[in-house]
Structure 1
Amino acid sequence: MQNLTSRYNYIYNANVILSQHQQELTEGYADNYDEILPVYVSPEKYDVFNSQPAESMPAMDEIIKKARVILLEKSFGNYVDESYLLLGKANFYKQNYFNSSEYFDYTAKNFPNNKKSYIQALDWKARSLMQLSKYSEAALVLDTLSIAISEQKKNKADPLATIAQIYIHQRMPLEAINALKEAIKSNSTGAERVRWTYILAQLSEQLENYPEALLYYRKVEKSSAPFEMYFNANLNRIKLNAFMSGVKLNKQDQLLALLKDDKNEDYHDQIYYQVAETYIRDGNFDQAKKYYQLSVRNSTKNNYQKGLSYLKIADLNFKHFRDYRAAKAYYDSTTNTLPKTYPGYELILKKNQNLQYLTDRYEIISSEDTLQSIAKLPEAERMAKVNLMANPLIASAKTTESYTANPLDPFQNSNDKRSKNKNTSSTFYFANSNAISTGYNEFKKKWGNRKLENNWRQSIRSSAQETIQDINKNYSTNNGKVAGGPDSLLAAAPDSAARIKAITASLPITPELMVKSDQKIIDAYHEIANFYLQELNDPKEAAEIYQILLDRFPNNNRLASIYYGLFLVNKTLDPAKAEVFKNKVLKDYASSTYAKTILDPSFSLRQSEMETVINKKYNDLFDLYEKKDFSAVIQQADEILAASPENYLAPQFAYLKAIAVGRTNHVDNLITEFEKINTNFTEDKLIVPLVKEHLGYINQHLEEFKKRQIALIDFDPNEPKFFGQQFPATAVVSPPVTNAKPLTPTKTAQPAVTPAVVPPTEKVVTAEKPVAPVKVAGIFSTAVSTIYYYVVHVSDGSLTLSSSRFGIGQFNRGNYAENNLRHQLKEFDNDQLIFVGNFGTFDDAKTYAEGIDPQLKQIMKVPANLYKSFIISKENFEKLSSKDILDKYQEFYKNNY
């Protein structure tokens, strides 16, 4: 009785449900014919297209329920093994792959004599392991499975297909072909046979066995294949025939002939794409680009195909046309269109982010050139030009306003004859208010409340599309002083008067401002040329940019670097020229790093080793400083400075010595040491501002300092800033700031007394500004916060960061003395975070980052490859609890900020 009820009440019905689900899964999956098709459709693919959460699958829950009834109530029957198989399959389709692999493993180990169940268990266990990306474990299971099926005549098709799948993953097409051929012979169903035949054709084409690939494509065409598979088989057959025949005149015509068939209307994008591919093979890149663009225009349903076409156009612009700005735009479109699972997606994203570097600098050059050309006009013409730019004529503006007032009524003009009958019944859609209302409601159901604007479908915008939002944000934060060119100013200012004011304020109308504008252009060209040379490995383009820079600014401050770059460029392009530039560097800039590198190619390596040694010496000296062994600090600092007076940390060694002198001597000696620093290190941007701050404070309280035998009498190793701690009676402890102005670097010495202990500022409010769209990825969000931190992530938990934190404190006190910035430490198992705050807005934190990042080499006393910096809101910071989450945030930061 248990066997009877188990078989017909539970096993049969569960298998019917499973078969229906598998059928739905196959029908709901959109194959990507530009890749080798998967042998079987995985659950993730199905869920992506059907938006069905894996955990809420009533059909699979029903199978699990039936299987458990057998195990609990009918365990004396013969269907216990099949119950475990059903539990495994249901968990597999629910994407609980670990559970499913355990069920299949249990079945294989406990029912080895039931060959049918044993083979199924091994087969599905291997599939589960592959879904978990445990391919080495899956391969071992399939080795056992191949031995088991070698003794069988039946039930071999599915296991052989699974074996073929792992061969495909391992890029072993020949072995995959052999396994699939055996699977087709072993009683495969009609649908399986067609799919596997198409895969055989793809694998044969990959092996360049074109006759066999053609044979299989023809078989698919003659079978009962779905139309899309039939179409792609036909397309590939034409492509291979043309390729094998070597005929260059008619292969495009054969493909374009497919456009005439009405059945192929939805596949025009793929046809144009294949035409472009034939032109690529012929080396006709202009025609290829034309047909890739036609593919994009005709891609109405297949976003994957559109993404591939975008990628091909981007690659053409990047590799063949050397149009990097156009390439950047197409890579933007590619990353917004292709799924993140596309092979090589991360590489495309990285290339896109690198090209943003070029785009930003070309925009700087264009902006400064435009502003300079306006500034050189006579005043009357200049103001006319500014007025024209601030108030551009847009013919469609009024029309747009009339249509955006009410999205349900596009005919709002009372003079329009069509509006008189808008409430009457009509077959014309826009004259029927009921139809419009219904359509609007359906639109909201599908798309939600979307703003009427260009590209409204895109939830993720490219960098170019978000430029206006970024400019608006910058304008509001900088009180109308917008970085960027006239177009930026035009977009950012809220009204005509403000736009005129913003553009006028940005014009370089004085010689000083013109010099600054020129320097921005020089720096941008220099960075572009270096990027072409070092990152893109494009010496020809780098040489052109260097030459443009020399032609425009023959006496610029980057000549040593430019001549060295031209020397490197011409080593392969023109050795004679290379020799000329080499001699220029050696003669005119003999003491530069570039000259030393030419004479000794290992100079950079030795320089890095020297920096490591200097870092260690500084850390050792700082340890003595913390232990209050001031006489040893003075002695060793003198020795180090005498041995290497030009080392890159020399100002900091001198500063430690000065503080040690202050801890042991009269204030006159301290002042002498500080003045030496000002004299000896005029170009330093980290220590000198801090020393000026100290001297300003000492001069204000000189009489009180003079009365002491020792200048600096207190010492707090956690916050070593002497000046606020000397006069506790007059120190003012600032309350939490509730209406603070935006963060402003301190450029001169401030007379105000700095408190010994500054309470953490938990709320900083700045002026209101437009709110950017919130982007969410996992637990992180770009939602606006009232508190932001600047973070330095050190990926080594064993390092002592006291000296590095001291360096950050030096920077803060020298440049942001009025802002009460604090730096603290947060530790993980093998990672440490130094975080600085509090900043009231993201832009305040960004301003701070732009100031401190160039100084990090001097500040951080750890190897450069071990640290990186980023900005984070307080809400996101509180979610950082492990190395894994920290890495995910840094990826989120890179993608969204």
Structure 2
Amino acid sequence: MGTKYNVLYNGNLALQRGIETVNDAYSENFWELLPVERMKVQEDVFLPGQTKNADFERAEEKAIKAVQVHGMNIDGKEKNPQIDEAYLLLGQARYYDQRFVPALAAFNNILNKYPTSDKINQVKIWREKADMRLDNNEVAIKKLKRLLEEEELKGQDLADATSTLAQAYINTKYKDSAMVQLAIAAEHTKINREKARYHFIRGQLYNEFGHKDSANIEFDKIIEMHRQVPRAFYINAHLEKSKNFDELDGDLVAFQEYLTELEENRENRPFLDKIYHRIAEFHRNNMSDSLAEAYYNKSLSKTTTDQYLKALNYETLGNMYFDRNSYKIAGAYFDSTMTAMEPNTKEFRVLKRKRENLDDVIYYEGIAEVNDSILNIVNMPKEDQIAVYSEYALALKAKAEEQEKLKKEKLQKRAIVTDGRAIANANNNKQGRAINPGGLPGNFGNNSNSSFYFYNPTTVAYGKNEFLKFWGDRELQDNWRLSDQRKNIGGTDSEEKIAETKGEDKRYTADYYIAQLPTDPSEIDSIAKERNYAYYQLGVIYKEKFKELELAKSRYETLLKNDPEERLILPSKYNLYRIYEELGLKRKGDAMKMDIVQNYPDSRYAEILLNPESALAKDENSPEAIYTGLYDMFNNEKYAEVILEADANIKKFEGDDFVPKFEILKASAKGRLYGFEAYKEAINFISLNYANTAEGKKAQAILDNAIPDLAKKDFIADDISKNFNVIYQFKNYSGENIDEFVKVLDEEVAKIEYFDLTTSKDVYDENTTFVVVHGLKSIGGARGFAELLRSKEKDKRGRPIPPKITRPFFAISSPNYAIIQRHKNVNAYLEQQ
């Protein structure tokens, strides 16, 4: 009795408190398939003896105390019938504390020692729950099916067994089998919260299978329970059901009234964020973008802990503006989306890449807009400039006067309130004197009289008004008495005099703005060049990145009207010709083709148009020929020269289809010269900026498949490798003759007949070159070979001959040599030796 009503009673109370804490901390994610059991498994690692929850720790202590103190094992048989329940409590406490292996041990202990326990079926169910948490789903399915076949379970035991079996089926992707078990669990459980969960999961699965009518039946069962279930299930059942509405054949008016009723129901206020989102989706599907945008913003305005919903709203709004070609606004929405998303997820990376693609668009559109505005004003007659800025100055002044008026009204209201309080305080003080003639400071909160200034509300109120009248509204900061710190909101006579001496604010005159316009022809020309280059870049970006041919056409056509630099004219015309062809504007395309052929007959663009199949590689100035030359330089390890030449040709051939090839070659050269991080950054740039080209797709494949392997910089053990090298380091600007050293080394290596050895001269970085001996078979053999080259030989007479190779060296396996070349971490390798 002591075990049952004292130890286990307190242990079970602690367990229930812990379960309530877990439930309170758990947030249902209705965007995904709900788990059968309301518990989130944490990935935190705890040391032995540590727990996640003090209540579960207490429950475990009580269970252990019951076994150790109250156990009565006599002649190998337990005489206390509560010990099996103690072990059950022990297993449950460990299970909820997410220590599943110890929990499994506790459940197995009951099955082994107390096979006749009245809790045996519950224990078997809990054991399979623990098995399932340990990813032993097949074992759990097998044992639960056997339990259901062998035992006649009823009520909550049957509900628990079938729901656990359903979760095991879901984990193993047998979702159709899970449906049957969830139906049995929903029928036999007496806990409405669980019943609602099982029906909701069945509805989600039916939707996944495409059976909308069956799904709606499940959601209706939850709706019918109404206040018997948590409100979250009730609302989300409504929302899931609304998603299955057939907007083509259904009654749109009735459906809109249904959504409006959900919105206006006062009980649904905590869920308005989701309801507004659903209404926004309805309007968006019915092409009412303005209404949809309004409801998405209303959803965002509600305080919510649902970060997924917030991200979904931001992303949808971003996509809407993206589709309208308002890329700057779309970029701002995508920025907000990423703040609400989990980093290191596929969705985050995809959106980040999309956002980065907009950076150049936003940048160049901003330049084009600002510079166009400046040039338009500069090119106006003086009278028009005065008219434009006078109108702007008047509007600015009217706005300032309106703000001034509001501030004065606010100050007057505050003064009236303050004076009223002062009068009231004065009256209170008169009464207070009779009660407290001494005017003790300790009673100033009761409006008593006091000789100390700040204890007298009347003098404080008067002082505040006088300060505002004389000084105006000032910030709490150093040097507050200076005139430039004054905020002219008092409207007193002294302020008006100051304003008169200062004269009219320059911001309210047209001359103030006209004086800021550029007048130097070189400055104006620079602005025009920057604007034209922005238009060219926008044409390339819209054409290549986003396939927005109409926008690209508009930017190129605008550019050609603005008298651009010569270097931009021909590629712009060629790109316009390509766009006209794709848009089916044959007449414009033919005219542009004729323009290029007649006015630029010697250009490579004219040759492409006249002879599309010709081998342009014969032209030494063609990008093909230049690329071939750069590739030869790359093979000769002239990486710095390749990078410089590639950069120059990328600018020279802007807009040409061959540019991505130069970018790929430059990325490879950067990787060889500067290492992995530089290579990764360059490849990422190509994948983002040339996504629709073969090179861009290749770069993306490298990012997905090769980069994770190339990122590994941990050195491997020497006993794993089969090939080894000897490395001699040279500083490039030390004056040493590396080629002469290689010649001598080759002569010495040729003397070694028992190894097939070769040498090479490899670039390490801008300042260092490696001379490498390849073909050695062990780390000891590599070191021994290098020492052999440094040892003194003897001539025929036995006299010592000075060695020809005396340089320092280090030995390294071929895989580790690849790592130091890739990550430029030779010093890290040498420190390990």
**TM-score (structure 2 length as normaliser):** 0.53
Alignment of structure 1 residues 629-640 onto 2, 5 Å = none
Give the counterpart of 2:764 among 795, 802, 808. Answer: 802
Cα drift, residue 197 of structure 1: 0.9
Task: Report if aligned partners of 1:292, 1:313 keep a CA contact under 8 Å in 2.
Answer: yes
Cα drift, residue 286 of structure 1: 4.4
Listed one character per residue, the Cα deviations across residues 163-207 of structure 1 (whole Å, up to 9, x for unaligned) are 545666787754443342243245463211112212222332333
Give the counterpart of 1:720 among 725, 729, 733. Answer: 733
Task: Report if aligned partners of 1:310, 1:330 keep a CA contact under 8 Å in 2.
Answer: yes
**Alignment correspondent of 2:363:** 360
Task: Report if aligned partners of 2:368, 2:531 keep a CA contact under 8 Å in 1.
Answer: yes
Listed one character per residue, the Cα deviations across residues 697-746 of structure 1 (whole Å, up to 9, x for unaligned) are xxxxxxxxxxxxxxxxxxx9547388xxxxxxxxxxxxxxxxxxxxxxxx
Task: Report if aligned partners of 1:372, 1:508 keep a CA contact under 8 Å in 2.
Answer: no
* One-letter code aligned to 2:320: L
Cα drift, residue 220 of structure 1: 0.7
Give the counterpart of 2:561 among 525, 546, 551. Answer: 551
Q: Distance in 1 between matches of 2:295 and 2:281?
A: 9
Q: 1:422 to 1:541 in 2, by over 3 A?
A: farther
Cα drift, residue 80 of structure 1: 8.6
Q: 1:147 to 1:544 in 2, by over 3 A?
A: farther
Q: 1:187 to 1:595 in 2, by over 3 A?
A: same
**Alignment correspondent of 1:40:** 37
Alignment of structure 1 residues 700-849 onto 2, 5 Å = 717-718=730-731, 720=733, 802-804=764-766
Listed one character per residue, the Cα deviations across residues 502-541 of structure 1 (whole Å, up to 9, x for unaligned) are 9999965333333332332233233333333333343343
Task: Report if aligned partners of 1:567, 1:582 keep a CA contact under 8 Å in 2.
Answer: yes
* One-letter code aligned to 2:539: A
Task: Report if aligned partners of 1:560, 1:594 keep a CA contact under 8 Å in 2.
Answer: no
Cα drift, residue 362 of structure 1: 1.6
**Alignment correspondent of 2:637:** 618
Listed one character per residue, the Cα deviations across residues 290-330 of structure 1 (whole Å, up to 9, x for unaligned) are 443444456678665454333322222223x3322232232
Cα drift, residue 363 of structure 1: 1.6
Q: 1:167 to 1:527 in 2, by over 3 A?
A: farther
**Alignment correspondent of 1:529:** 539
Q: Distance in 1 between matches of 2:554 and 2:275?
A: 39
Q: Distance in 2 between matches of 1:246 and 1:104?
A: 52
Question: In the alignment, is residue 275 of structure 1 matched against residue 294 of structure 2?
Answer: no
**Alignment correspondent of 1:513:** 523
Question: In the alignment, is residue 103 of structure 1 matched against residue 102 of structure 2?
Answer: yes
* One-letter code aligned to 2:530: K
Q: Distance in 2 between matches of 1:202 and 1:161?
A: 15
Question: In the alignment, is residue 19 of structure 1 matched against residue 16 of structure 2?
Answer: yes
**Alignment correspondent of 2:333:** 330
Task: Report if aligned partners of 1:279, 1:288 keep a CA contact under 8 Å in 2.
Answer: yes
Alignment of structure 1 residues 125-204 onto 2, 5 Å = 125-127=131-133, 129=134, 137=135, 139-151=137-149, 152-154=151-153, 155=157, 157-158=159-160, 160-162=162-164, 164-165=166-167, 174-185=176-187, 187=189, 189-204=191-206
The root-mean-square deviation of aligned C-alpha atoms, in Å, is: 5.8
Cα drift, residue 605 of structure 1: 10
Q: Distance in 1 between matches of 2:607 and 2:333?
A: 37
**Alignment correspondent of 2:126:** 120
**Alignment correspondent of 1:132:** none
Q: 1:105 to 1:264 in 2, by over 3 A?
A: closer
* One-letter code aligned to 2:199: T
Listed one character per residue, the Cα deviations across residues 643-668 of structure 1 (whole Å, up to 9, x for unaligned) are xxxx999xx9xxx9xxxxxxxxxxxx
Q: Distance in 2 between matches of 1:188 and 1:608?
A: 76
Task: Report if aligned partners of 1:36, 1:202 keep a CA contact under 8 Å in 2.
Answer: yes
Task: Report if aligned partners of 1:543, 1:569 keep a CA contact under 8 Å in 2.
Answer: yes
Unaligned residue ranges in structure 1 (runs of 5+): 48-53, 130-136, 404-409, 427-432, 435-494, 623-646, 657-715, 723-798, 808-828, 835-860, 868-880, 883-897
Listed one character per residue, the Cα deviations across residues 210-243 of structure 1 (whole Å, up to 9, x for unaligned) are 2212211221112112223223333444564564
Q: Distance in 2 between matches of 1:219 and 1:334?
A: 35
* One-letter code aligned to 1:329: A
Q: Distance in 1 between matches of 2:540 and 2:229?
A: 54
**Alignment correspondent of 2:315:** 311
Cα drift, residue 248 of structure 1: 3.1
**Alignment correspondent of 1:344:** 347
**Alignment correspondent of 1:212:** 214
Question: In the alignment, is residue 61 of structure 1 matched against residue 57 of structure 2?
Answer: yes
Give the counterpart of 1:372 among 372, 375, 394. Answer: 375
Q: Distance in 1 between matches of 2:615 and 2:111?
A: 67
**Alignment correspondent of 2:549:** 539
Task: Report if aligned partners of 1:532, 1:538 keep a CA contact under 8 Å in 2.
Answer: yes
Q: Distance in 2 between matches of 1:336 and 1:425?
A: 52
Cα drift, residue 366 of structure 1: 2.1
Listed one character per residue, the Cα deviations across residues 528-572 of structure 1 (whole Å, up to 9, x for unaligned) are 333333333433433333333333345552345434544554554
* One-letter code aligned to 1:229: F
Q: Distance in 2 between matches of 1:279 and 1:568?
A: 38
Q: Distance in 1 between matches of 2:575 and 2:67?
A: 76
Question: In the alignment, is residue 263 of structure 1 matched against residue 275 of structure 2?
Answer: no
Question: In the alignment, is residue 395 of structure 1 matched against residue 405 of structure 2?
Answer: no
Listed one character per residue, the Cα deviations across residues 570-625 of structure 1 (whole Å, up to 9, x for unaligned) are 55432846677678778657447995996589999999897565323126999xxx
Task: Report if aligned partners of 2:19, 2:96 keep a CA contact under 8 Å in 1.
Answer: no
**Alignment correspondent of 1:824:** none
Q: Distance in 2 between matches of 1:554 and 1:28?
A: 63
Cα drift, residue 142 of structure 1: 4.5
Listed one character per residue, the Cα deviations across residues 660-686 of structure 1 (whole Å, up to 9, x for unaligned) are xxxxxxxxxxxxxxxxxxxxxxxxxxx
Cα drift, residue 283 of structure 1: 4.1
Alignment of structure 1 residues 608-687 onto 2, 5 Å = 614-618=633-637
Q: Distance in 1 between matches of 2:614 and 2:70?
A: 83
Q: Distance in 1 between matches of 2:104 and 2:628?
A: 54
Q: Distance in 2 between matches of 1:345 and 1:524?
A: 29
* One-letter code aligned to 2:215: A
Q: Distance in 1 between matches of 2:615 and 2:36?
A: 54
Task: Report if aligned partners of 1:308, 1:338 keep a CA contact under 8 Å in 2.
Answer: no
Q: Distance in 2 between matches of 1:260 and 1:535?
A: 44
Listed one character per residue, the Cα deviations across residues 819-847 of structure 1 (whole Å, up to 9, x for unaligned) are xxxxxxxxxx989999xxxxxxxxxxxxx
Cα drift, residue 162 of structure 1: 4.9
Task: Report if aligned partners of 1:299, 1:306 keep a CA contact under 8 Å in 2.
Answer: no
Q: Distance in 2 between matches of 1:35 and 1:419?
A: 57
Task: Report if aligned partners of 1:104, 1:125 keep a CA contact under 8 Å in 2.
Answer: no
Q: 3-state DSSP class of the match of 1:720?
A: coil
Q: Which has the larger radius of gyration?
A: 2
Cα drift, residue 272 of structure 1: 3.5
Q: Distance in 2 between matches of 1:9 and 1:575?
A: 90
Task: Report if aligned partners of 1:123, 1:145 keep a CA contact under 8 Å in 2.
Answer: no
Task: Report if aligned partners of 1:411, 1:418 keep a CA contact under 8 Å in 2.
Answer: no
Cα drift, residue 417 of structure 1: 0.8
Quick one: percent identity of the two aligned structures?
20
* One-letter code aligned to 1:368: N
Between the two proteins, the alignment pairs up a number of residues equal to 560
Task: Report if aligned partners of 2:108, 2:127 keep a CA contact under 8 Å in 1.
Answer: no
Q: Distance in 1 between matches of 2:638 and 2:371?
A: 44
Listed one character per residue, the Cα deviations across residues 749-778 of structure 1 (whole Å, up to 9, x for unaligned) are xxxxxxxxxxxxxxxxxxxxxxxxxxxxxx
Q: 1:582 to 1:15 in 2, by over 3 A?
A: farther
Listed one character per residue, the Cα deviations across residues 767-821 of structure 1 (whole Å, up to 9, x for unaligned) are xxxxxxxxxxxxxxxxxxxxxxxxxxxxxxxx976234579xxxxxxxxxxxxxx
Task: Report if aligned partners of 1:242, 1:251 keep a CA contact under 8 Å in 2.
Answer: no
Q: 1:153 to 1:20 in 2, by over 3 A?
A: farther
Task: Report if aligned partners of 1:585, 1:594 keep a CA contact under 8 Å in 2.
Answer: no
